[in-house]
């Protein structure tokens, strides 16, 4: 499955920061904290204007610190190139505006991050880019929704918060058959566990705010794919101003170095937690594709290296029990994010899924009993101990 020249653990540390043969340089990539770069001669400016120069000119266009992060993520995704952006939302916008214009359509399952859904239903719709939403996993309906106006197929797998998976190879084959661009949000899986480009996707993007950064201390996004797509995406990023600050770029590089070890540890914890929850009398349902009884177990095992670090569950007693459980936690933080070293809990009905209609929530499998856990890298017994005491109080 992997589309890399070296192992992910090595790329996490070295890609984009190769120093061999260069003497007396800092070991870590310095923060190029500058908005602009000095050119030596008028001729350099001319060469730049003629598109013949790789020199840095202005940090909104490109910056050496951010470029190191881009090369690292490109290596991890097995991509020719990557564009790092100010947020995951900015990365998605760059993907959309690279392949769609007014009058074009996007096809996407309903199971996508709420912010992405909102962008499609409001701003993109106002700009004349319409999205046809379809039920998750319904491949025939996805295919039926494709018209001659469709330019992009958007997929998120595993999904938030019910950790459902969709067959990436199949969906990318549909995209290819209809000559439309398949874009995958790989935030939940990370390139350590899943490489959508190797399975046929055209572009892959991340909320790098989550696992790629990994320490809840930065907001960033990343889009990766062929050089052709990334040249287009960079032009969009430049003119829409969605560039990442070099300071955040440094934090992103630092976070990426430990991505592989963080993912390994958090996956182990997630398996233990899902098993614990699946045996608990106060839990009516667990959503985690690592469990053999999960409906997405076989699919996840086929296209992911492990089942991921997100575990959701339905607590018996509905909303009141959920509130008591969350308020009783001592180690897990109540925070509307995921992917950090810290384990966090969120309540989708009042965060990512707030305001959605009953019918939509039903389709998505989310109820007032649903609790989402982002499993961090703490000790598994401490994490389970805290969940256990909080469930007993619920
Ligand atoms: C799956 C997914 N995609 C995209 C985003 C948007 O990323 P950001 O908040 O970095 O803009 C999020 C944010 O929560 C997310 O969870």
267 and 235 inside one domain? no
Residues 87, 22: one domain? yes
Q: Identify whether 342 is part of a domain.
A: yes
Question: What confidence score (pLDDT) does residue 134 get?
Answer: 93
Is the beta carbon of 207 within 6 A of some atom in ligand 1? yes
Determine if ligand 1 sits within 6 Å of the CB of residue 223: no
**Catalytic residue from among 113, 205, 250, 347:** 113
Do residues 208 and 335 both lie within one domain? no
Say if residues 1 and 303 touch (Cβ distance below 8 Å): yes
Is 173 a domain residue?
yes
How many domains are contained in the chain?
2
Q: What does the pLDDT read at residue 139?
A: 87
Give the pLDDT confidence score for residue 2 in this predicted structure.
57
Q: What is the pLDDT of residue 325?
A: 98
Same-domain status, 339 and 368:
yes
The pLDDT of residue 135 is: 84
Q: Report if residue 26 sits inside a domain.
A: yes
219 lines ligand 1 (CB under 6 A): yes
The reply to whether 236 and 99 lie within a common domain is yes
Q: Point out the domain boundary residue: 202, 235, 257.
A: 257
Domain C-terminal end among 191, 226, 257? 257
Q: Which residue has its alpha carbon closest to ligand 1 atom 13?
A: 207
Cα(11) to ligand 1 centroid in Å equals 24
**Domain span holding position 388:** 259-393
Same domain, 235 and 352: no
- Residue 320 falls within a domain, yes or no? yes
203 and 263, same domain (yes or no) = no
Of the residues 212, 238, 257, the one at which a domain ends:
257
| 179 and 327 assigned to the same domain | no
Look at residue 5 in the predicted model and tell me its pLDDT: 75
Residue 3 domain flag: no
Residue 1 lies in a domain: no
Say whether both 295 and 216 belong to one domain.
Answer: no
Do the beta carbons of residue 332 and residue 386 sit within 8 Å?
A: yes
Q: Answer yes or no: is the C-beta of 225 below 6 A from any ligand 1 atom.
A: no
299 and 166 in a common domain: no
Residue-level pLDDT at 3: 65
Which of the residues 47, 60, 316, 360 is marked catalytic? 60
State the pLDDT at residue 138: 83
- The CATH number covering residue 39 comes to 3.40.640.10
Token pair of 367 as six digits? 């109820």
Q: Does residue 311 lie in a domain region?
A: yes
pLDDT of 355 reads 87
Catalytic site includes residue 210: yes
314 is a catalytic site residue:
no
Residue 290 has what pLDDT? 98
Q: Give domain status of residue 2, yes or no.
A: no
Tell me the pTM: 0.97
Each residue's pLDDT, cut to its tens digit, for the chain (394 residues) gives: 456 678 999 999 999 999 989 999 999 999 999 999 999 999 999 999 999 999 999 999 999 999 999 999 999 999 999 999 999 999 999 999 999 999 999 999 988 998 999 999 999 999 999 999 998 778 899 999 999 999 999 999 999 999 999 999 999 999 999 999 999 999 999 999 999 999 999 999 999 999 999 999 999 999 999 999 999 999 999 999 999 999 999 999 999 999 999 999 999 999 999 999 999 999 999 999 999 999 999 999 999 999 999 999 999 999 999 999 999 999 999 998 999 999 999 999 999 888 888 988 998 999 999 999 999 999 999 999 999 999 999 9
User: Are residues 267 and 212 both part of a single domain?
Assistant: no
Angstrom distance (rounded) from CA 387 to CA 270? 13
One domain for residues 249 and 319:
no
CATH of the domain at 355: 3.90.1150.10
């Amino acid at each position: 499955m992997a589309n890399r020249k070296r192992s992910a653990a090595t790329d996490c540390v070295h890609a984009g920061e190769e120093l061999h043969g260069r003497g007396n340089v800092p070991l870590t990539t310095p923060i190029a904290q500058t908005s602009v770069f000095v050119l030596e001669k008028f001729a350099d400016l001319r060469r730049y204007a003629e598109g013949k120069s790789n020199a840095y000119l202005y940090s909104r266009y490109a910056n050496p610190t951010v470029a190191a992060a881009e090369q690292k993520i490109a290596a991890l995704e097995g991509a020719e190139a990557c564009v790092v952006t100010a947020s995951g939302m900015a990365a998605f916008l760059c993907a959309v505006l690279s392949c769609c214009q007014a009058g074009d359509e996007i096809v996407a399952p309903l199971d996508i991050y709420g912010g992405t859904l909102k962008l499609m239903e409001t701003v993109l719709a106002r700009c004349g880019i319409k999205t046809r939403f379809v039920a998750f996993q319904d491949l025939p309906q996805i295919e039926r929704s494709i018209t001659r106006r469709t330019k992009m197929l958007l997929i998120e797998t595993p999904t938030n918060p019910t950790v459902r998976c969709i067959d990436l190879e199949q969906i990318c084959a549909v995209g290819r058959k209809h000559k439309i661009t398949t874009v995958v949000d790989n935030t939940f899986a990370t390139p350590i566990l899943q490489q959508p480009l190797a399975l046929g996707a055209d572009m892959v993007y991340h909320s790098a705010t989550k696992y790629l950064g990994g320490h809840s201390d930065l907001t960033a996004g990343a889009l990766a794919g062929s050089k052709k797509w990334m040249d287009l995406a960079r032009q969009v990023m430049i003119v829409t101003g969605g560039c990442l600050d070099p300071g955040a770029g440094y934090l992103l590089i630092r976070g990426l170095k430990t991505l592989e070890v963080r993912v390994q540890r958090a996956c182990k914890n997630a398996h233990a937690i899902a098993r614990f929850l699946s045996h608990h009398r106060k839990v009516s349902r667990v959503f985690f594709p690592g469990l053999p009884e999960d409906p997405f177990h076989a699919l996840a095992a086929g296209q992911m290296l492990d089942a991921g670090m997100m575990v959701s569950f339905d607590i018996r007693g509905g909303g009141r029990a959920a509130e008591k459980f969350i308020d009783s936690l001592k180690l897990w933080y109540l925070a509307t994010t995921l992917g950090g070293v810290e384990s966090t809990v969120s309540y989708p009905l009042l965060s990512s899924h707030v305001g959605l209609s009953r019918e939509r929530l039903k389709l998505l499998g989310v109820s007032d009993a649903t609790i989402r856990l982002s499993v961090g890298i703490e000790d598994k017994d401490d994490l389970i101990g805290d969940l256990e005491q909080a469930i007993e109080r619920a």
